[in-house]
Amino acid sequence: MSKRFKVLLTNPIHPECQQALMRECDVVLAPDIKPETLKGLISDCDGLIVRCQLPQDIFADALQLKAVVRHGVGLDFIPVDTATQKGIPVANLPGSNTNAVVEYCLAVIFYFRRRLALIDTQLRSQGWAKARPLADPSNEIAATTLGIIGFGAIGSKLANAASGLQMKTIALTRRPETLPSGIRAATKTELFSESDVIVVCCPLNERTRGIVDQASISMMKPNAILINIARGPVIDTQAIIKALKAGDIAGAAMDVHDQQPLTGAEQIFDCPNLLLTPHIASITASSMKGMSEGSVKTILAILNGERPENIVNPDVFL
């Protein structure tokens, strides 16, 4: 009888998919995501499914690890270079959460532009006469300009949705020649000064770290809003706090943060016109199941000697 592979989950995955994985492998669910916990559990595991930030030295004692799969898209959770040096294949799931993230962005735009939460609160507490005038300064989305930073799968699908809402889209990307018809390439200055809504959806790397800085934010229109669904360090959080408190911009939504989880003691909790969410833009019932199905399928394929197309470091097979 062949040995069963052992797979570590940093966090729970969809119950049906977790059960399917358990039928094929011995599955260990980490009781917490502390670095010492994960490093202690990984030593005798053959596979790892990742839903949290891994410690940089996670692979130091992973003596029999054969596969790492990101339950999602972003690879900054995983020290991929170290995995490559150790000959460990790493895979992610491109496009697995795109719909969910785009819907989150659209929900945020409507949240700020139509002021429905504010109007509902005012109606309940102050009455009809006080609530009704709050609609007067609200802005329609049609004919406004959407600025997208990072034009990958999410940026592309968001632009399509924006077109259906009659928004104009401009984009800041390293490959402007790849932009589809109707999407204008913009410089950083153009994007921040012309956009009514700015969505940050670029990956976190040394080029993008701090790309939304004080100088950028100071160029934004007073009625503009900023949405960050990339990673916290892409944005200068202190600059956003300053702009919101001064009323220099109309609002911001932050789904990702410099340090996660938030404790409630951070300065951003004192900001007006700020929507905070706990890194849930990509999470819906359907996206969670899709990411879990993809994770299980991919890790079983690698463990059984296959080479799925979604491996991000194929050099390990050379």
Phi and psi dihedrals of 239, rounded to 5? Answer: -70, -40
Instruction: Give the up-direction half-sphere exposure of residue 316: CA atoms within 13 A in the CB hemisphere.
Output: 24
Same-domain pairing of 166 and 192 = yes
Q: Are 163 and 142 in contact (CB under 8 A)?
A: no
Question: CATH number of the domain that 52 lies in?
Answer: 3.40.50.720
Same-domain pairing of 54 and 40 = yes
**Structural domain includes residue 1:** no
Instruction: Give the up-direction half-sphere exposure of residue 43: CA atoms within 13 A in the CB hemisphere.
Output: 6
Locus of tokens 């989950």: 9
The per-residue pLDDT for 2 is 58
Average pLDDT of the residues in 174-179: 94
Q: Are 234 and 209 in contact (CB under 8 A)?
A: yes
Same-domain pairing of 193 and 299 = no
Q: Are 227 and 108 in contact (CB under 8 A)?
A: yes
What residue numbers bound the domain in which 62 lies?
Answer: 6-96+285-317
Same-domain pairing of 80 and 167 = no
Beta strand residue intervals within the chain, DSSP E: 6-9, 26-29, 47-50, 67-70, 90-91, 145-149, 168-172, 184-185, 197-200, 225-228, 251-254, 274-276
In angstroms, the CA 29 to CA 7 distance is 9
Domain count, the chain: 2
Same-domain pairing of 62 and 176 = no
Average pLDDT of the residues in 161-168: 96
The per-residue pLDDT for 61 is 87
Average pLDDT of the residues in 121-126: 97
Question: Mind listing the pLDDT tens digit for each residue in 51-80?
Answer: 999 999 999 989 999 999 999 999 999 999
The per-residue pLDDT for 318 is 86
* DSSP, res 133: G
The neighbouring-strand residues paired with 147 are 170, 198
**Structural domain includes residue 195:** yes
Total Cβ atoms within 10 A of residue 249: 20
CA 228: distance to chain centroid?
8
The answer for residues whose C-beta is within 8 angstroms of residue 29's C-beta and 6 or more apart is 9, 11, 12
Largest distance between two CA atoms of the chain: 76
Q: Band of the pLDDT at 264, cuts 50, 70, 90?
A: very high
Same-domain pairing of 53 and 198 = no
Q: Tokens for 314?
A: 């194929």
Average pLDDT of the residues in 172-193: 96
Same-domain pairing of 26 and 91 = yes
Cα dihedral sign, 42-31-93-168: negative
* DSSP, res 269: G
Same-domain pairing of 214 and 73 = no
Q: Are 90 and 83 in contact (CB under 8 A)?
A: yes
Question: Mind listing the pLDDT tens digit for each residue in 224-257?
Answer: 999 999 999 999 999 999 999 999 999 999 999 9
Question: Mind listing the pLDDT tens digit for each residue in 2-58?
Answer: 579 999 999 999 999 999 999 999 999 999 999 999 999 999 999 999 999 999 999
Same-domain pairing of 91 and 102 = no
In angstroms, the CA 147 to CA 190 distance is 9
In angstroms, the CA 238 to CA 236 distance is 6
The neighbouring-strand residues paired with 163 are none
In angstroms, the CA 234 to CA 63 distance is 34
DSSP string, 81-112: HHHHHTT--EE--TTTTHHHHHHHHHHHHHHH
Average pLDDT of the residues in 260-265: 94
Total Cβ atoms within 10 A of residue 177: 6
Query: pTM of whole model > 0.85?
Result: yes
CA 251: distance to chain centroid?
19
Same-domain pairing of 147 and 68 = no
Q: Band of the pLDDT at 1, cuts 50, 70, 90?
A: very low
Same-domain pairing of 127 and 41 = no
pLDDT at 161 over 50: yes
Q: Tokens for 58?
A: 């996670």
